[in-house]
Structure 1
Amino acid sequence: MRHDLHVRRAAGGDVEAMSRVLIASITELCTLDHDGDPILIASWTRNKSVAGVDGMLANPDLMLLVARNRDTVVGVGAVAGGNEVALNYVDPGHVRHGVGRTLLAAMEAEIADRGFAVGRLTSTRTALGFYRANGWNEDGPPEASWGMPGYPMSKRLGA
């Protein structure tokens, strides 16, 4: 499948597609974390509804990004608090096509442009290898997040 990826700030017209990508990614790709438990999935996706994503878009402390392949949203990312990667989710049909890596690079650039030398995130178990492969390092033991372990990570950005 050929991908013509580009990343841009999310807009109101993206909300439904963003919700779809977030929920599908969590439900279908993060089974290592939720093990198909409907209670954990419901808890994790509760704020990923159209209304929830609309609220995220209105939050001045979040910068939401979408990765698009032609006219289709295939990834969703967010930077929070200046230097935190808060979201990095890929549509299940577009995994291993560079979507997550492209979004991550855009978020790292945004964090560096904001003047931060270090980026931070909390990884799922599913994404831990992805972040390690992209230069992120664990910053201590796992912490409880959505009833599952979350892995604090950081990366030195820029020179």
Structure 2
Amino acid sequence: MIIRDATLDDAAEACAVLRASIIQLCTADHHDDPDILSRWLANKTPENVAAWADAKGRSLLVAVEDGAIVAVGGVKDSGEITVNYVAPRARFRGVSAALLAALELRAAERGAQQATLLSTWTAHHFYLARGYQVTGPPQSKFGTTASYPMAKALAGAGP
């Protein structure tokens, strides 16, 4: 597996990974509710993913295995992790942890002191196990009932 910056040519495949991960792996968050899914997936289009890959002040990374994208992660230079999704076929194989480490490293390289994110219920324990702490009460996002604001100090961050 390699982790690299996403390119514009990755947009459709990366978008498919995002959508599959949300639909298949986040059922505890969306409960197969069509309204929640519709809101959550609304900005997960190839056009938006291409824009994320080409945006200033942020990075979109992909994990690639045997020529196929198996995970997609985004981070702003400020340290905010905006997306971190794994393909259902790659779940529980360390792909998400490796991608998260790459996102954290990218944020630290760009001067961020901490990583912040809004975690789904599905991913909450994943982030806790990697040193993130809850920083506030659960929020509703896309109509879900429990999205956790979390943060972690970044190693090697600073001047």
Give the TM bin, normalised by the shorter chain: over 0.9
- Offset of 1:38 from its aligned partner? 1.1
User: What is the alpha-carbon distance in structure 2 between the residues aligned to residue 142 and residue 152 of structure 1?
Assistant: 7
* Cα distance in 1 for residues equivalent to 2:17 and 2:141: 20
**Paired residue type of 1:25:** S
Match of 1:35 in 2: 31
Q: Deviations over 1:49-74 (max 9, x none)?
A: 21221232233233100000121000
Which residue of structure 2 lines up, in the alignment, with residue 44 of structure 1?
Answer: 40
- How many residues align? The count is 155
State the secondary structure of the residue aligned to 2:75.
strand
| Structure 1 unmatched ranges of 5 or more | none
Deviation of the 1:112 alpha carbon? 1.3
Kindly state the Cα deviation for residue 88 of structure 1 after the two structures are TM-superposed: 0.5
1:5-20 correspondence to structure 2 within 5 Å: 5-20=1-16
**Distance across 1 between alignment mates of 2:22 and 2:77:** 23
Following the alignment from structure 1 to structure 2, what is the Cα–Cα distance between the partners of residues 20 and 131?
23
Identify the residue that residue 60 of structure 1 maps to in structure 2. 56
Segments of 5+ residues of structure 2 without an aligned counterpart are none
RMSD, aligned α-carbons: 1.2
Q: Tell me if the contact between 2:76 and 2:107 (Cα under 8 Å) persists in the aligned partners.
A: no
- TM-score of the two chains, using structure 2 as the length reference: 0.92
Tell me the distance in 1 between the aligned counterparts of 2:149 and 2:28: 17
CA distance in 2, matches of 1:36, 1:65: 28
> Equivalent residue for 1:143?
139
Greater percentage in strand:
1
Residue in structure 2 matched with residue 157 of structure 1 by the alignment: 154
Question: Hey, what does 2:67 align to over in structure 1?
Answer: 71
Superposition TM-score, scaled by structure 1 size: 0.92
